[in-house]
């Protein structure tokens, strides 16, 4: 066959394959759109997602790569130009994909969709899939690209350099404040999952000695044997989960059944100690554990869902979506479904990773596509799986678990009665039986998303793999969520500490020295104190911490995305690519509409269930009149509600104002750049690249030939460094 014939045969085959993928996607979406009141399999959601991702990756990300960003493999990346074996390092694309994914994936995409299931399965499904394709993956890819072209500069630095000092300062404050809220909400999820659960406390508690053991083992006994150490750690972890089932027999049940307040104290102390200990002792080994657990559970979940093929129990769209009176969180489908899902569709926090370590390790420019866009598609897949886990459980149980204790009274009878008023039927006996099946004392008002997800997972795994292991699976899932939330808390506190030291270091030089103990300890204490404060507010709030704080978390994350997308639009315009500014521009416009509407409602709504200040007013008026409003039980709790609502409202306003400042500053630059046609940026000039590597996950025949001839060329030149660029240690 001649080359032309082969080419056209390949083309025909490619058209045929993509037509089939498109057809599968269209079928799945049609079934989801048209099925009402009948048994719908969860697999329709799963396959609608997978085929949509495939098409988006193949076509849209390619368009962005070729036309919008004009990825250029003749340009050397920062890793190639500045390689130093420390932070700049040429890394295999598939390995870097793993690192990047491990860094962006956390508890957010697991928890958000579970809470958003209150709106029904359809709104969540649509936003997780459409959102990632048009917004989340675009943001990650474009930020990664621009940071890579600037030697891996951070988001805050780029905003400062490319938009202005005002915008840059606002962005810096916003990043720090948003991180505090994120840490507080994630910790709240852990506290809610572990409170009153002796089994959970036992196994999560044991992760600390396990990680310490791994740390010492790696440092003193078997230096560098990470895989061996991790294998030992994983086995110990599984034993810890199994052992938790025997807390009663061990006589530890009472000692380990902790209240939320005690858990807060434990977590704050832990966070402080973990952030000042050397990383090799606790943080690094814990990170190994959580990364391997994360990947393992995701694979297990995907297999479990396909094998179990559960039927969706939730309605496609619930009445809470249109009326905004849901018990899990207040507000209508617009804007709150977008706020709640957050990380699985669009996450501003990813912009910090995409402008942090990843851009310094990319070996070829073309890898931005698979790592930035591809990595986020995988995160979205995690979110879809979490959503499925929440909508395949009995919905009476879902609402019993997710309504705040103020509404259910915290008892099975109260919960059964409450969900009855929502139109669901579940008896107290059924609730008790569900709790007994996973060996927990109760499932009522276990808010925060983690217990619901764990219950959903345990049900899916139980159906898929059989055996009498539902309680094990439940605690396995709790362990896995808590493990990587705690990793995020450790790492986040440390990042916060470094940011604080860096900022104060601008004025007081010595404070910026990260190895100076007084500075390190005090900066850690400030960071921990800040998130600990919000965490404590969350657990003591009679209205329910998740109900109160999760919207703040979601809005904060989406506002950070607005800052990142603003930067993307600004840079495209400055580079004279106004005609492609719509690529990050459309998600930016949408994100601003969503977040500003949500902020407006949380600040100015006169509905006390929705607006923070309206809520504070309502409780203040009642207190002044000497009344006590449910769910508060006394005047003290009334005071707590008022104070928390005021704090949250002020913080909410601050976030929105900071973002408006960044966007306003950017608009000035847009106008200037459009008038001038383009403006100079801090992009590093073109330097020729010597590395030859495939562009995507799998090498094409042509790429394999190119790599082979490159290896041959280097061998003949006596370079002796072989095919892979060797990472030398200097």
Partner 1 sequence: MNIATRVWRGLRWYLREFSGESRWDAYLVACQRDGVTPASRREFERHRADQVEHAPMARCC
Residue ranges binding partner 1 (CB under 8 A): 86-87, 92, 94-95, 98-99, 103-108, 182, 186, 218-219, 223-227, 230, 278-280, 284, 287-288, 342-343, 347, 349-350, 352-353, 356-357, 484, 487-488, 490-492, 494-495, 497-498, 514-515, 557, 720-721, 726-729
Going by C-alpha positions, the residue among 475, 473, 451, 462 that lies closest to residue 207 is 475
User: Which tokens belong to 92?
Assistant: 């295999």
Whichever of 121 and 484 has its CB closer to partner 1, that residue is: 484
How far, in Å, CA of 301 to CA of 304, rounded?
5
Q: How far is CA 187 from CA 209, 212, 264, 486, 553, in A?
A: 20, 21, 8, 8, 12
Whichever of 498 and 655 has its CB closer to partner 1, that residue is: 498
Return the HEC string of 678-713. CCCCCCCCCCECCCCCCCCCCCCHHHHHHHHHHHHH
Smallest distance from partner 1 to CB 716, Å: 17
Smallest distance from partner 1 to CB 475, Å: 23
Smallest distance from partner 1 to CB 225, Å: 7
Smallest distance from partner 1 to CB 631, Å: 28
DSSP state string for 605-669: -S-TTT-HHHHHHHHHHHHHTT---TT--SHHHHHHHHHHHHHHHHHHHHHHHHHHHHHHHHHHH
Whichever of 343 and 482 has its CB closer to partner 1, that residue is: 343
Whichever of 291 and 689 has its CB closer to partner 1, that residue is: 291
DSSP state string for 148-170: HTTTT--HHHHHHHHT-HHHHHH
Sign of the torsion formed by the C-alpha atoms of 241, 247, 253 and 255: negative
How far, in Å, CA of 721 to CA of 133, rounded?
40
Whichever of 431 and 499 has its CB closer to partner 1, that residue is: 499
Smallest distance from partner 1 to CB 500, Å: 12
Whichever of 62 and 219 has its CB closer to partner 1, that residue is: 219
Whichever of 9 and 299 has its CB closer to partner 1, that residue is: 299
User: Which tokens belong to 156?
Assistant: 């805050």
How far, in Å, CA of 171 to CA of 482, rounded?
30
Smallest distance from partner 1 to CB 605, Å: 26
User: Which tokens belong to 127?
Assistant: 């936003």
Whichever of 86 and 625 has its CB closer to partner 1, that residue is: 86
Smallest distance from partner 1 to CB 25, Å: 28
Whichever of 524 and 570 has its CB closer to partner 1, that residue is: 524
Please, where are the H alpha helices in 277-332? 283-308, 319-323
Whichever of 349 and 536 has its CB closer to partner 1, that residue is: 349
Q: Is the Cβ–Cβ distance between 675 and 141 less than 8 Å?
A: no
Whichever of 287 and 394 has its CB closer to partner 1, that residue is: 287
Smallest distance from partner 1 to CB 321, Å: 24
How far, in Å, CA of 603 to CA of 366, rounded?
44
Smallest distance from partner 1 to CB 287, Å: 7
Q: Which residues pair with 41 in a beta bridge?
A: 311
Q: Distance between the two ends of the chain, CA-based, in angstroms?
A: 51
Smallest distance from partner 1 to CB 23, Å: 30
Going by C-alpha positions, the residue among 635, 349, 594, 667 that lies closest to residue 495 is 349
How far, in Å, CA of 707 to CA of 261, rounded?
59
Whichever of 181 and 479 has its CB closer to partner 1, that residue is: 181
Helix (H) or strand (E) holding 97: helix 93-104
User: Which tokens belong to 535?
Assistant: 């965490």
User: Which tokens belong to 365?
Assistant: 């420019």
Smallest distance from partner 1 to CB 729, Å: 4
Smallest distance from partner 1 to CB 728, Å: 4
Whichever of 219 and 623 has its CB closer to partner 1, that residue is: 219
Q: Which residues pair with 75 in a beta bridge?
A: 688
DSSP state of 245: T
User: Which tokens belong to 242?
Assistant: 């199994």
Smallest distance from partner 1 to CB 498, Å: 5
Whichever of 277 and 622 has its CB closer to partner 1, that residue is: 277
How buried is residue 641: exposed, middle or buried, by Cβ count under 10 Å (0-12/13-18/19+)? buried
User: Which tokens belong to 381?
Assistant: 């897949």
Q: Is the Cβ–Cβ distance between 580 and 623 less than 8 Å?
A: no
**Cα-trace Rg, the chain:** 26
């Amino acid at each position: 066959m001649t080359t032309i014939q082969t080419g056209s045969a390949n083309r025909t085959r490619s058209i045929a394959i993509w037509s089939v993928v498109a057809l599968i996607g269209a079928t799945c979406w049609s079934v989801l759109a048209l099925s009402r009141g009948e048994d719908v399999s969860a697999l329709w959601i799963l396959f609608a997602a997978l085929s949509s991702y495939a098409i988006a990756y193949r076509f849209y990300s390619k368009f962005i790569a070729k036309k919008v960003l004009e990825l250029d493999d003749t340009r050397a990346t920062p890793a190639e130009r500045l390689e130093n074996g420390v932070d700049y390092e040429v890394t295999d694309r598939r390995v870097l994909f793993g690192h990047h994914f491990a860094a962006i994936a956390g508890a957010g995409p697991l928890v958000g969709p579970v809470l958003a299931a209150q709106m029904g399965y359809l709104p969540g499904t649509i936003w997780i899939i459409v959102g990632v394709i048009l917004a989340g993956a675009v943001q990650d890819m474009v930020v990664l690209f621009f940071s890579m072209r600037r030697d891996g500069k951070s988001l805050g630095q780029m905003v400062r350099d490319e938009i202005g000092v005002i915008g840059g300062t606002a962005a810096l404050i916003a990043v720090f404040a948003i991180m505090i809220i994120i840490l507080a909400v994630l910790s709240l999820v852990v506290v809610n999952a572990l409170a009153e659960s002796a089994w959970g406390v036992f196994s999560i508690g044991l992760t600390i000695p396990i990680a310490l053991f791994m740390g010492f083992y790696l440092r003193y006994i078997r230096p560098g044997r990470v895989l061996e150490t991790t294998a030992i750690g994983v086995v110990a972890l599984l034993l810890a989960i199994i052992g938790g089932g025997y807390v009663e027999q061990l006589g530890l049940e009472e000692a380990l059944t902790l209240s939320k307040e005690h858990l807060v104290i434990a977590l704050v102390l832990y966070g402080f100690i973990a952030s000042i200990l050397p990383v090799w002792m606790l943080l690094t080994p814990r990170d190994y554990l959580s990364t391997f657990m994360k990947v393992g559970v995701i694979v297990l979940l995907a297999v479990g869902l396909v094998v179990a093929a559960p039927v969706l129990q939730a309605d496609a769209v619930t009445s809470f979506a249109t009326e905004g009176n849901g018990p899990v969180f207040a507000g209508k489908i617009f804007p709150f479904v977008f706020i709640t899902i957050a990380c699985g569709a669009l996450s501003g926090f990813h912009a910090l990773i995409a402008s942090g370590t990843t851009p310094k390790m990319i070996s070829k420019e073309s890898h931005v596509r698979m790592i930035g866009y591809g990595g986020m598609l995988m995160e979205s897949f995690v979110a879809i799986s979490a959503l499925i886990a929440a909508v395949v459980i009995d919905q009476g149980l879902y609402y019993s678990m997710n309504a705040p204790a103020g509404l259910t009274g915290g008892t099975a009878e109260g919960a059964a009665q409450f969900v009855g008023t929502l139109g669901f039927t579940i008896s107290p006996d059924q609730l008790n039986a569900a709790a007994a099946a996973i060996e927990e004392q109760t499932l009522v008002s276990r808010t925060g998303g983690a217990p619901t997800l764990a219950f959903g997972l345990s049900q899916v795994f139980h159906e898929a793999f059989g055996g009498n292991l539902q309680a094990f699976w439940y605690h396995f899932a709790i362990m896995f969520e808590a493990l990587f939330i705690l990793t995020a808390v450790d790492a986040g506190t440390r990042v916060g500490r470094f940011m604080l030291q860096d900022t104060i270091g601008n004025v007081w030089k010595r404070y910026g020295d990260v190895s100076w103990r007084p500075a390190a300890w005090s900066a850690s204490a400030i960071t921990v104190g800040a998130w600990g404060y919000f965490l404590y507010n969350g657990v003591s709030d009679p209205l329910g911490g998740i109900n109160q704080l999760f919207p703040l978390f979601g809005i904060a994350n989406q506002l950070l995305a607005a800052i990142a997308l603003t930067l993307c639009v600004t840079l495209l315009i400055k580079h004279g690519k106004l005609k492609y500014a719509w690529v990050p521009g459309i998600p930016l416009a949408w994100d601003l509409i969503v977040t500003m509407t949500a902020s407006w409602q949380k600040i100015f709504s006169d509905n006390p269930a929705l607006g923070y200040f309206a809520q504070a007013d309502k409780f203040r008026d009642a207190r002044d009149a000497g009344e006590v409003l449910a769910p508060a039980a006394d005047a003290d709790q009334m005071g707590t509600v008022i104070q928390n609502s005021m704090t949250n409202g002020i913080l909410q306003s601050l976030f929105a104002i900071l973002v408006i400042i960044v966007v306003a500053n950017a608009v000035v630059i847009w106008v200037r750049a459009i008038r001038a046609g383009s403006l100079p940026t801090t992009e590093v000039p073109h330097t020729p690249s010597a590395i030859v590597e495939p562009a995507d996950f799998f090498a094409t025949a042509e790429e394999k030939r190119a790599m082979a001839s490159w290896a041959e060329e280097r061998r003949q030149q006596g370079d002796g460094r072989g095919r892979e660029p060797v990472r030398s240690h200097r």
